Structure 1
Amino acid sequence: MATLLRKIGLIRLHDRDTEDPKHHQGSLKGTKGNQKNNTKHCNTSNETNISTPEIKAKKFDHPVKDKPPVKEKQQGKDTKEKQQSSKPSSSIPSLAPHRQHCTQVRTRRLMKELQEIRRLGDNFITVELMDDNLFEWNVKLHQVDKDSALWQDMKETNTEFILLNVTFPDNFPFSPPFMRVLTPRLENGYVLDGGAICMELLTPRGWSSAYTVEAVMRQFAASLVKGQGRICRKAGKSKKAFSRKEAEATFKSLVKTHEKYGWVSPPVSDG
Structure 2
Amino acid sequence: MATLLRKIGLIRLHDRDTEDPKHHQGSLKGTKGNQKNNTKHCNTSNETNILSTPEIKAKKFDHPVKDKPPVKDKQQGKDTKEKQQSSKSSSSIPSLAPHRQHCTQVRTRRLMKELQEIRRLGDNFITVELMDDNLFEWNVKLHQVDKDSALWQDMKETNTEFILLNVTFPDNFPFSPPFMRVLTPRLENGYVLDGGAICMELLTPRGWSSAYTVEAVMRQFAASLVKGQGRICRKAGKSKKAFSRKEAEATFKSLVKTHEKYGWVSPPVSDG
CA contact (8 A) 1:138 1:165 kept: yes
Checking the alignment, whether the CA contact within 8 Å between 1:228 and 1:270 is kept in structure 2 is no
Q: Distance in 2 between matches of 1:170 and 1:87?
A: 27
Query: CA contact under 8 A between 2:175 and 2:209: conserved in structure 1?
Result: yes
Which position in structure 2 is the counterpart of 1:183? 184
Q: C-alpha distance in 2, partners of 1:138/1:89?
A: 40
Tell me: CA distance 1:33–1:120, structure 2 relative to 1, closer, same or farther (3 Å). Answer: same
Q: Return the alpha-carbon distance in structure 2 between the equivalents of residues 154 and 221 of structure 1.
A: 13
- Higher deviation after alignment, 147-156 or 7-16: 7-16
The aligned residue for residue 112 of structure 1 is: 113
- Give TM-score, length-normalised by structure 1: 0.71
**Which whole-Å deviations, capped at 9, do the CAs of 1:194-226 have from their partners, x for residues lacking one?**
000011111111111110000000000000011
Q: Distance in 1 between matches of 2:11 and 2:129?
A: 149
SS in 1 for 2:250: helix
Q: Deviations over 1:33-61 (max 9, x none)?
A: 99999999999999999999999999999
Question: Is the Cα–Cα contact under 8 Å of residues 227 and 270 in structure 1 kept in the other structure?
Answer: no
Deviation at 1:120, TM superposition (A): 0.2
- Distance in 2 (CA, whole Å) between partners of 1:14 and 1:213 is 121
Deviations 1:53-74, CA, capped at 9 Å, x for gaps:
9999999999999999747854
Closer/same/farther in 2, CA of residues 232 and 55 from structure 1, 3 Å limit: farther
Task: Tell me: CA distance 1:59–1:222, structure 2 relative to 1, closer, same or farther (3 Å).
Answer: farther
Pair 1:160–1:69, CA change in 2 (3 A): same
Q: Can you list the C-alpha shifts for 1:77-116, whole angstroms capped at 9, x where unaligned?
A: 2454134213322212211111111111111111110010
Select the structure of larger CA radius of gyration: 1
Q: Cα distance 1:56–1:5, how it changes in 2: closer, same or farther (>3 A)?
A: closer
Aligned-pair CA distance for 1:255 = 1.3
SS of 1:140's partner is strand
In structure 2, relative to structure 1, the CA distance for the partners of 1:167 and 1:57 (3 Å cut) is same
Distance 1:8 1:69 in 2: 62
Deviations 1:128-147 (A, max 9, x none): 11111111111000111111
- Secondary structure of residue in 1 paired with 2:37: helix
Residues 227-267 of structure 1: per-residue CA shift (max 9 Å, x gap)? 11011011111111111111111111111222233324569
> In structure 1, how many angstroms separate the alpha carbons of the residues matched to 2:175 and 2:101?
15
Whole-Å Cα distance in 1 between the matches of residues 248 and 4 of structure 2? 151
Q: Judge which range, 260-269 or 13-22, deviates more.
A: 13-22
Name the CA shift for 1:188/1:67 in 2 (closer, same or farther; >3 Å). farther
What RMSD in Å do the two structures reach over aligned CA positions? 8.9
SS of equivalent residue, structure 1 residue 234: coil
Question: Which residue in 1 is equivalent to 2:246?
Answer: 245
Q: For 1:93, what is the secondary structure of its paired residue?
A: coil
Identity %: 99
More deviation, 10-19/231-240 = 10-19
SS of equivalent to 1:136: strand
Determine the C-alpha separation between the residues in 1 that align with 2:124 and 2:108: 24
The structure-2 alpha-carbon separation of the partners of 1:232 and 1:36, relative to structure 1 and needing over 3 Å to count, comes to: farther
Which residue matches 1:24? 24
Cα deviations across residues 152-187 of structure 1 (Å, max 9, x unaligned)? 111111111100011111111111111000000000
Q: Confirm or deny: 8 A CA contact 1:149 1:228 kept in the other structure.
A: yes
Residues 251 and 62 of structure 1: is their aligned pair in 2 closer, same or farther, counting only changes over 3 Å?
farther
Please, what TM-score do these two structures have when normalized by structure 2?
Answer: 0.71
In structure 2, the gaps of 5 or more residues are none
More displaced stretch, 173-182 vs 31-40: 31-40
Residue 124 of structure 2 contacts residue 143 of structure 2 at CA under 8 Å; is this kept in 1?
yes
Distance 2:9 2:34 in 1: 34
Counterpart Cα distance in 2 of 1:213 and 1:33: 115
- Aligned partners of 1:180 and 1:197 also within 8 Å: yes
1:81 maps onto 2:82 in alignment: yes
TM-aligned CA distance change 1:20 to 1:242, over 3 Å? closer
Change (3 A) 1:14 1:47: closer
